[in-house]
Amino acid sequence: MDTWEIITHLGENREEYHGAMIPPMYQTSNFKFDDLSAMQTALSDEYHYPVYSRGNNPTVKILREKLAALEGAEDALVFNSGCAAISTLLLSQLKAGDHMVCIAKPYGWVKYICDYILKAKGIQCSFVEVLDNDAGVYAYIQASNENTRLWYLESPNTFTFEVTDIAAVALASKERGIITVIDNSYSTPLYQKPLLLGIDFVIHSASKYLAGHSDVVAGVLCGNSESIKEIYQSYYLALGAVISPQDAWLIIRGLRTLPLRLEQSSKSALEILTAIEHHPRIEKIYYPFHHSHPNYEIAKLQMKSCSGLFSIKLKVDNTEAIHRFCDAFKVFSMAVSWGGFESLIFPALAFQVKDETDQNALSWKIVRFYVGFEEVEVLKNDLLQALAVINS
């Protein structure tokens, strides 16, 4: 099924709701049964029947079908945040004594989940850099031991955009009986399909491109139907980090335009990067499809395209220069998150202390950009005038 058919039609039985183009928002907590037998049937199989909206809800079901199909997955679950999808999955797959290997700079709260929540449960985690020649394969193998049960990937990760060789890491995991998980938020299923490269579980923050309008916080988990059913019947229902029908409805609406939004964001980002790549105030560009990226070739092979999020490292020697730069923007807004309609900057200095001694720390000179849908000329000029302000 092609992308447009999934986005426009899949899961939507319009004759059930008077031919309405847009599916109803089933804003209900519970579902009524005609007789006791029907109720018995439903309660014995909550995976298939709507009983209570912590489990199944018809609006959420439409979204699950679309997301699974886009990823090439057998099934998908939707959560009330990306973090809920990640923590529910990790808690469901790991037990005391287990060990996991994770990319060195994952999404910030993943590090917290590993260092505090999992550790307190007796689960150890090692962090690995993936920027060597084989893009992570050796690093994941080297960091593993006989208790290693799970490899956690995020490719590209979303501040420094390091790229892991997904197919090679997935192959190495299979040889060792290790489960693989990837955070695919950056690429969306349109630009990268990790399950087809051999990964077991894909998670997303749907708060970013998938919902796409800066008005929803939600998460997604995709995998094979056996695993997803098992997680649904245990950790999903029990931890209860469930999405509301209204948020599911908003993501269905967001998906309608996902291909167009991605294309625009991606095109503008490349144009802006081309305009600034030789600027004397820029020390380094972090973007998987930029020729300076150490794993550019692998990125080109496994990603269909590259989205509208990148970082730059400024050539400055004091934090005041970063303040001058960031405060000078008139069109880009300063805010966390990304994937909406509006262009954003997020300076690492907002959360990073200036520590020159820790080689692994994210540099305070890095500023992340998300390119939205404003006129690209306007965005380019905004960035150029902010770079000029550094000298003042």
Task: By CB under 6 A, tell whether 11 contacts ligand PLP.
Answer: no
Residue with smaller CB distance to ligand PLP, 107 or 329: 107
CB 76 within 8 A of CB 221: yes
Task: By CB under 6 A, tell whether 104 contacts ligand PLP.
Answer: no
Number of residues that bind ligand PLP (CB under 6 A): 12
Q: How far is the CB of 185 from ligand PLP (least distance, A)?
A: 4
DSSP string, 44-99: T-TTTS-SBTTS--HHHHHHHHHHHHHHT-SEEEEESSHHHHHHHHHHHH--TT-E
Residue with smaller CB distance to ligand PLP, 122 or 240: 240
Largest Cα span, the chain: 77
Residues 173-212, one symbol each (x = binds ligand PLP by CB under 6 A, - = not), give: ----------x-x-------------------x-xx----
Residue with smaller CB distance to ligand PLP, 193 or 208: 208
How many angstroms separate the CA atoms of 370 and 319, rounded? 22
Residue with smaller CB distance to ligand PLP, 144 or 236: 236
Radius of gyration of the chain (CA): 22
Task: By CB under 6 A, tell whether 82 contacts ligand PLP.
Answer: yes
Residue with smaller CB distance to ligand PLP, 68 or 110: 110
Q: How far is the CB of 190 from ligand PLP (least distance, A)?
A: 16
Task: By CB under 6 A, tell whether 88 contacts ligand PLP.
Answer: no
CB 208 within 8 A of CB 184: no
Residues 24-63, one symbol each (x = binds ligand PLP by CB under 6 A, - = not), give: ----------------------------------------
Task: Return the exposure string of 307-319: e unless at least 16 CB atoms fall within 10 Å of the residue's CB, then b.
Answer: bbbbbbbbebeee
Task: By CB under 6 A, tell whether 295 contacts ligand PLP.
Answer: no
Task: By CB under 6 A, tell whether 365 contacts ligand PLP.
Answer: no
How many angstroms separate the CA atoms of 275 and 90, rounded? 42
Residue with smaller CB distance to ligand PLP, 205 or 363: 205
How many angstroms separate the CA atoms of 214 and 208, rounded? 7
Q: What strands, in cross-sheet order, belong to the sheet with 309-314?
A: 282-286, 309-314, 366-370, 344-347, 333-334
Residue with smaller CB distance to ligand PLP, 82 or 308: 82
- Calculated CA dihedral for residues 334, 338, 340, 344, nearest 10 degrees: 30
Q: How far is the CB of 357 from ligand PLP (least distance, A)?
A: 27
Length, in residues, of the chain: 392
Task: By CB under 6 A, tell whether 368 contacts ligand PLP.
Answer: no
Out of 75, 99, 107, 235, the residue judged to bind ligand PLP by CB under 6 A: 107
3-state secondary structure of 324: helix
Out of 53, 56, 59, 81, the residue judged to bind ligand PLP by CB under 6 A: 81
Residue 188 CA, chain-centre distance (Å), reads 7
Stretch that binds ligand PLP, among 52-60, 77-85, 112-120, 163-171 (CB under 6 A): 77-85
Give the CA count within 13 Å in the CB-facing half-sphere of 103: 31
Residues that bind ligand PLP (CB under 6 A): 81-83, 107, 158, 183, 185, 205, 207-208, 217, 219
